[in-house]
Structure 1
């Protein structure tokens, strides 16, 4: 902290102290009531700070999640606040969150997700490429031993690992076409498979 910032902080502290003292001197008869109000406002302030700090955890807890109706062969995905649909698949036993991308032809894993499912990045050959909204990227073809979504399980699926930076893995049509029906309606994506 610079000397100017320390001076400003000291001035604000002195001003706050003067205001609090003036309030107590002005309303001496109601000191207990003022302390109660001050305590209530302090607790409100602390609650607001805590809510802001925990917002990401709260949002993930109360936001709707994908629903699997195994007996009906149906998966329902709520639209996320960012307008996308997200789906979590179990790949080789690890949960991987994908953004559903009907404009993508294949399944594309981020480097981090590829490592989580047991793919050794050092063994990959990034010799193929894919065209994205951000331009061409290098990709490496891989095979996923086991991909599960609720009661649906597929083996030995072709996928790619993106050689560049990506926020989320993409779930494209090579996987989505395994479903008999894909419908988007009322803020939900419904996938059905017999």
Structure 2
């Protein structure tokens, strides 16, 4: 392997290149310690910093490849939807679900997109935060959740927006305190679209024309 091939190899392996550089720097620090102690100490500290950076980057890389690890779930935050042409695209998160950051009454709220949910629903805490008021004449609706059936109160959101999707005067179910922690976009919104489909790790939503 000539010098050019070695340079290209190290360029393609940045963690290895950083590790080798840190080791060489540490060796060089030992050579300068006796004659120029300050320079030697500075080189040694830089080498230690480089090795710590390699360790942290390696851990992050391994966590990213293991999509079910706690670290991967922590690093994989919910993102706004992407607009591709006229379609809105939501990426699959590490937990195997489609999450999106939406604007509910103009306030950022994290939602799980659930095609099996009848209603779009939020927790009482989020409802209060965005100014949703339950209908005083509403007796409530029974919703099936992972923890069993609950009674939710209905309200109307002025707007819910994400990507190229916008719904106005949208019925929203407000879950009782302690029973609902996950905000859900359900079929009450999805049924207003021209269509939706899953392609690989992407949920693609198609708004109606006009």
TM, length-normalised to structure 2: 0.61
**1:118-129 maps to which residues of 2 (within 5 A)?**
118-120=131-133, 127-129=140-142
Residue 169 of structure 2 is aligned to residue 156 of structure 1: yes
Q: Which residue of 1 aligns with 2:82?
A: 67
Asked if residue 78 in structure 1 is aligned to residue 88 in structure 2, the reply is no
Task: Please report how far the alpha carbon of residue 75 of structure 1 lies from its aligned counterpart in structure 2 after TM superposition.
Answer: 0.3
Partner of 1:6: none
Match among 141, 145, 151 for residue 138 of structure 1: 151
Give the corresponding residue for 1:109.
122
Distance, in Å, in 1 between the alignment partners of 2:172 and 2:205 is: 20
Q: Is the 8 A contact 2:81 2:90 kept in 1?
A: yes
What's the CA shift string for 1:140-180, capped at 9, x where partnerless? 11111222334543322111111134332011111111111
- In the alignment, does 2:192 pair up with 1:185? no
| CA distance in structure 2 between the partners assigned to 1:66 and 1:185 by the alignment | 15
- 8 Å CA contact 1:124–1:140 kept in 2: the answer is no
Aligned to 2:183: 169
> Aligned equivalents of 2:144 and 2:159: distance in 1?
27
Unaligned residue ranges in structure 2 (runs of 5+): 1-29, 61-71
- Measure how far apart 1:139 and its partner are: 1.1
Between the aligned partners of 1:131 and 1:116, the Cα distance in structure 2 is 24
- 3-state SS of 1:145 partner: strand
Aligned length: 161
**Structure 1 consecutive aligned stretches of length 4 or more whose deviation exceeds 6 Å:** 49-52, 55-58, 123-126
Once residues 80 and 110 of structure 1 are traced to their aligned partners in structure 2, the CA distance between those partners, rounded to angstroms, is 21
The 1:43–1:73 alpha-carbon spacing in structure 2 relative to 1, beyond 3 Å, is closer
CA RMSD of aligned residues (A): 3.7
Q: 2:52 aligns with which of 35, 41, 45?
A: 45
Higher relative contact order (CA 8 A, sep 6+): 1
Flag structure 1 segments of 5+ consecutive residues without an equivalent: 1-26
